Structure 1
């Protein structure tokens, strides 16, 4: 019998109408779901939208590059070097958490192709990695200010299910935490392999800004209206 992955604690924001779609949005290192929950009104979605937003909290764990300090993290960061940064065991564990969150939505009547995986920084890494490998078509994958954890190559065990899924990749032009070149490397790898990915950079650091959030709202509406 396979082990059941427990659901992470999470903040859920319901629409005014019955939810017919869902965005699962993962935060960055040291943050929590509460860090991104306030962005929902800034997406400028239609008042009658039917999107449920789920903002999970990462588990607490020691982070090597922060002197082993325990904080919310989707995986350990072992090295500041991009190509040796992500602890893959941790990435795979977080992939299981995301699968559990997706399954919760499916059990509640929202099919996978009405679910968007989204994330910022570490959360973006996990959302992108998970979405590329997920075995059912998703509505979209959003990867903000992040990179691929598999260095300069695409992950193993890619699923054809999401080969045509819309992917949005955003990055700050003054990002001094995750260099924009890392995000662009991931974009180039995906584009060259035929993925339907869209790149947009913004004049910002390792953050999000209002214009970007408005653009994300338009992208989300398009993804979910076409799913």
Structure 2
């Protein structure tokens, strides 16, 4: 969907189950990884809680035919290095897009959840850790903790109780599991509600991890009147 009034191209799956009378549905924003597009994670929609209005966004940086990213990366002797200027531009664009979604769909108390894969996980964590008031919870899959988020953390009282589901594959050779374990150690020191899982998978979303994600998100909704 290309809504001229919104900052990013996206696809929508309407909720399959009605919310309580007079309440707007909770919104789940999906953020894909580098080299992919909005159709990628949209394919997970049938496996997720039917109460969600699901929005799958396209990253703004065109890398090739139907291939997009949030920022370019470069292979160096020190490892992967991201384009920080592009990352900041995408971060600001995503903040605006979240506000636009909140207004367009009147999410109100139901809130907006973020679920990102790889580079999309990095963007999700960046938003959540610096602007926790904008999100109701985060699923971060096969990513790493952005240094920019560490440098600009929100105040502890604003982060308190923020639900984060962090998951990674032990056989991931794109972003090795060590990055997830480092993120776990850092996040464990914050006053958030952290759930951490490792799976015997590569750089992917396995059915086992998807089942756990669905259960975790459904549990979050169970704590709210939706």
Is the pair's TM-score, using the shorter chain for normalization, greater than 0.5? yes
Superposition map of 1:39-188 within 5 A: 39-43=44-48, 45=49, 49-61=50-62, 71-80=67-76, 85-107=81-103, 108-111=105-108, 114-134=111-131, 136=133, 138-150=135-147, 154-159=150-155, 160-188=157-185
TM-score by length of 1: 0.83
Q: Does 1:7 align with 2:17?
A: no
Length, aligned pairs only: 213
Contact 1:26 1:123 in 2 (8 A): yes
* Uncovered stretches (5+) of structure 1, i.e. residues with no partner: 64-68
Q: For residues 75-131 of structure 1, what are the alpha-carbon distances to aligned partners after superposition, in whole Å with 9 as ceiling and x for unaligned?
A: 121345677622222222222222223212321210276211110000000001111
Q: Secondary structure at the match of 2:217?
A: helix
* Uncovered stretches (5+) of structure 2, i.e. residues with no partner: none
In the alignment, which of 205, 208, 212 is matched to residue 211 of structure 1?
Answer: 208
Query: What RMSD in Å do the two structures reach over aligned CA positions?
Result: 2.6
CA distance in 2, matches of 1:173, 1:195: 24
CA distance in 2, matches of 1:82, 1:197: 29
Residues 56/82 of structure 1: CA separation in 2 closer, same or farther (3 Å cut): farther
